[in-house]
Structure 1
Amino acid sequence: MTVKETVEAIDDLKRRQDAVIVAHNYQPGPIQDIADFVGDSLAMARWAQKIPAKTLIIAGVYFMAETAAIACPDKEVLIPNPEAGCSLAESISPEELMAWKADHPDAVVVSYVNTSAAVKALSDYCCTSSNAVAVVNAIDPEREILFLPDFFLGSHVIRQTGRHNIQLWPGECHVHATIDPDQLHDKMRRFPDAELLIHPECGCTTKALAIPPDGIRAHVLSTDGMLVHARKADGRRFVVATEIGLLHRLQKENPDKEFIAAEAEARCPFMNMITLDHIYRALSDHIYRVEIDPDIRRRAWQAIDRMLAIG
């Protein structure tokens, strides 16, 4: 089928099967354009909870489909390509977390939402890149915290909270970690009128904020935070340090503004493993359903629910 025919076939299957497509901000443009909702990983799950559709197609990586299945146990959750993993989520296993907890028996475990369901189930709180600081601030300042798995997000949390009783797991998103601070500074020198939007998973965050070029306007923001900022900002040009899939939505929502990738090759190979053909096949054959063990789901939801209670 042509692309047009595939899109039409997907729309027809969605109508007949009471299904919706929920896509992440890093998905390729054509996937975002056919989705019923586009957002960050937690926003995807929260929207999926509210929509009455029976079937959810999760256009994102596997932990996002798991999070949707945790949040929506009464719905069928399909992942179009189960090979779409996440280097950050896979940087810590349940066994590794249990061993870490055993070494710090009185610590509170805060897990980034970019983790497997089994890791969430072993955690006290989940967090996102937008609310990690608020979650940590809500915990007794005398309690030790095990923050996982993203070292760079954890470093940002330490910088923002001033807490020194936070232990960090040495995990990273291989895409964000390789965004080079020297290239970023070069972009800012080339576009001195631009604002700099940096995702806290970036390995360049600390250096970019510690020794910024003169007059730089830098903001450390989640993907949804970047979208909100870009809509409200008076500026017309932005250098964006995150996975380049976000630039599609930024440009689509702000056609009168310019968005420049800090690193043009910052493309997640796992996010790009979801194609229109995969979505069509998932809908037509109802394959790759994501199911969570009930006990894991219950315990993982507790960690998510504690985060939601904070805001």
Structure 2
Amino acid sequence: MEMTDRINALKAEKNALVLAHNYQRPEVQDAADFVGDSLELALRARKASEDIVVMCGVDFMAETVKLLNPSKRVLFPNLDAKCPMAAQLKPADIISAKEEFPDASVVLYVNTHADCKALADCCCTSANAAEIVGKMPSDVVLFGPDANLAFYVQRRTKKQVVAIPSHGFCRVHDLIGERDVAKAKSEHPSARIVAHPECVPAVQAMADAICSTSRMIDFAQKSEANEFIVATEVGMLHRLAKENPGKKFHAALPDATCTAMKKITLSDLYYALEDEKIEIEIPPEIAAKALPSVERMF
């Protein structure tokens, strides 16, 4: 029996739902019940009726699924799949920023850990960051941990957006530079450029569209163009090509690979289901404070 068939059999046997992020390995995406970006995954997890939810992504995603499903068993196939950007923001950073800006609202990217979410007024994803920040009651909004996304939000709201930390970034998106995009454009002159808002401002300025990975799907489907240069993690090209047959997608930087996202293998997924490990637990006192900020982003 093929590994995917064995995984499907275990899903049926154990009444399990497998979620996978767009940056996962192609074979893991294909074995999942649902593939999406952070917002899509959170929305799907929120309405899960299964007994077990397996999150194929990185650590903060598994935590978010557990926050939304406190009574369910949430499994995370590989504890080494840790998001470096999420680790850049600590609760102490938020507390310090609040001391400097006591009247500021705190909006945190969902790419943060639960102990930070517990200090936030609201969470957001790249798909709804500008909308949520724009609705905050204060003139100043503390936003973290991605400074490039903070720049993107600042340009689309009337708020003063203060990045915490000031240097926070996604290592993968920060690697994609102007020269990479220009080179890809020279090789594919008719292609439209679509960039993730975690990209540096110079790359954002070169893009025909700046959007979350879920909105990249919409952009490609609705565009009259048949060729696209994609400035995000290369795993996204699998879903783009799968859902847009007949259209071509080129990585702005072919080396833009998130090693944390690629930690989870089909074998990891299989054994997570077989052994029902590794189960995510969040201290109740943290979960109680973190959940409201997550719920407010919907």
Aligned to 2:269: 279
SS in 2 for 1:307: coil
Gaps of 5+ in 1: none
Per-residue Cα deviation, 1:149-169 (whole angstroms, up to 9, x for no partner): 000000011112243x22112
The one-letter code matched in structure 2 to 1:259 is F
Kindly state the Cα deviation for residue 285 of structure 1 after the two structures are TM-superposed.
Answer: 1.1
Q: Could you tell me the TM-score, scaled by structure 1's length?
A: 0.92
Contact 2:25 2:262 in 1 (8 A): yes
Aligned to 1:184: 181
> Aligned residues, how many?
296
Aligned to 1:123, which of 102, 120, 125?
A: 120
Instruction: Measure the CA separation in 1 of the matches of 2:267 and 2:192.
Output: 37
Instruction: Measure the CA separation in 1 of the matches of 2:2 and 2:202.
Output: 48
Contact 1:46 1:71 in 2 (8 A): no
Gaps of 5+ in 2: none
The one-letter code matched in structure 2 to 1:305 is E
Kindly state the Cα deviation for residue 95 of structure 1 after the two structures are TM-superposed.
Answer: 2.4
Contact 1:185 1:208 in 2 (8 A): no
Per-residue Cα deviation, 1:264-288 (whole angstroms, up to 9, x for no partner): 0001000000001111111111111
SS in 2 for 1:13: helix
Query: Cα distance 1:297–1:258, how it changes in 2: closer, same or farther (>3 A)?
Result: same
Instruction: Measure the CA separation in 2 of the matches of 1:162 and 1:137.
Output: 7
Instruction: Measure the CA separation in 2 of the matches of 1:266 and 1:197.
Output: 15
Aligned to 1:159: 155
Instruction: Measure the CA separation in 1 of the matches of 2:40 and 2:88.
Output: 23
Instruction: Measure the CA separation in 1 of the matches of 2:71 and 2:223.
Output: 40
The one-letter code matched in structure 1 to 2:59 is Y
Per-residue Cα deviation, 1:28-63 (whole angstroms, up to 9, x for no partner): 100000100000122112112223110011000010
The one-letter code matched in structure 1 to 2:163 is L
Runs of 4+ with >4 A deviation = none
Aligned to 2:241, which of 242, 251, 264?
A: 251
Instruction: Measure the CA separation in 2 of the matches of 1:292 and 1:253.
Output: 35
Contact 1:240 1:262 in 2 (8 A): yes
Structure 1 segment 48-67 matched on structure 2, within 5 A: 48-67=45-64
Kindly state the Cα deviation for residue 209 of structure 1 after the two structures are TM-superposed.
Answer: 4.7
Aligned to 2:223: 233
Aligned to 1:145, which of 136, 141, 146?
A: 141
Instruction: Measure the CA separation in 2 of the matches of 1:150 and 1:257.
Output: 31
What percentage of aligned pairs have identical amino acids? 41
The one-letter code matched in structure 2 to 1:254 is N
When the two chains are superposed, the root-mean-square deviation of aligned CA atoms in Å is: 1.4
Instruction: Measure the CA separation in 2 of the matches of 1:105 and 1:135.
Output: 19
The one-letter code matched in structure 1 to 2:110 is V
Aligned to 1:12: 9
The one-letter code matched in structure 1 to 2:221 is R
The one-letter code matched in structure 2 to 1:156 is Y
Instruction: Measure the CA separation in 1 of the matches of 2:6 and 2:56.
Output: 17
Per-residue Cα deviation, 1:166-224 (whole angstroms, up to 9, x for no partner): 21122111000110111101211322211111000012xx22354x4xxxx61000000
Aligned to 2:203, which of 203, 208, 216?
A: 208
